[in-house]
Amino acid sequence: MDAVELLPQLKALTREISSDLPLKLGFRWNPGIGQGFNAKVITAGASSTEGIPIKFGIDPHRLEEAWKQAISLGFQPSGLHQHLGSGWTGSDFPVISQAVERLVRTAQRLEEKWGPLEFLDFGGGFAPRYQADQSLFPLRDYALTIKNKIQQSGLKSKLLIFEPGKFLVAEAGLLLVKVEYIKSSFGHLFACVNAGTFNSLPRPAIYPEARHKVVNASCVHSSQPVTLTIAGNLCETGDVFAWGVKLPLPQPGDILAILHAGAYGESMASTFNLRSRPRAFYLT
């Protein structure tokens, strides 16, 4: 449950459900701090780094109000959830640790007033290694921080939930595109391909910080790589899969592999500009 205001609506929906047991609810709160690789994917705090108000989660000052209202409506609050943002790297660890502290401390206060929680959900956000020089989020330190905070607090909740979806599946997919032609303009060299970002892998067009490694699958190695922009076929200046990448000079017909497309690739693809989405093949 993401908002106190939704509780009456949920109660109206549940009147049609016949059950002798109370319906359990988990609450997503907003701990007041968030972190993400781009302002658009920061999902906690009062506002993003660009000043956009954050729509997610229940204000900490209204969490107990939500708990009381849920009980008065016949629900059974059973857990607490937070999600801070997406794309954490090593430098984000201090902020994430602070949010862990806030979640545990708040859960402790709720347990003191209303009894044991069934679960705590710490959400997700750790980034896969998109770039070779990227510092990975310290998962072991993160786990130890949570373990220590839980033990010190005396919380009775036995279930801890994590949501590492992108971290697990990003490397499992890649996007294959064909080079149609090579273009030189104002000192820039473009490999123009037969796909558009918004139709296949929108992340680089939506988030400037989203960098995907590109491999010339038709000619992997070269003693004289060139610096390229991988340009899509849409009517958008931002329709580029990568820029400033060094590859063996592609030829028309070469296949380029854009890596780490297994997360937020096919699921975000669209028919932007009335272009079709790419075919997907699954290997098991």
Instruction: Enumerate the active-site residues.
Output: 235
CA 94 to chain centre: 19
The answer to whether 120 and 109 have CB atoms below 8 angstroms apart is no
HSE-CB of 103 using CA atoms within 13 angstroms: 34
DSSP conformational letter for 89: B
- Do β-strands 255-258 and 214-216 pair in parallel, antiparallel, or remain unpaired? antiparallel
Tokens 């000052």 map to which residue? 61
Distance of alpha carbon 1 from alpha carbon 77, whole angstroms: 10
DSSP conformational letter for 58: B
Torsion of CA 198, 202, 206, 210, to 10 degrees: -150
The answer to whether 107 and 120 have CB atoms below 8 angstroms apart is yes
CA nearest neighbour of 217 among 177, 277, 186, 245: 177
DSSP conformational letter for 219: -
Distances in Å between the Cα of 239 and the Cα atoms of 80, 200, 229 are 39, 11, 10
Distance of alpha carbon 248 from alpha carbon 168, whole angstroms: 30
- Contacts (Cβ under 8 Å, ≥6 apart) of 260: 128, 130, 170, 171, 173, 174, 212, 213
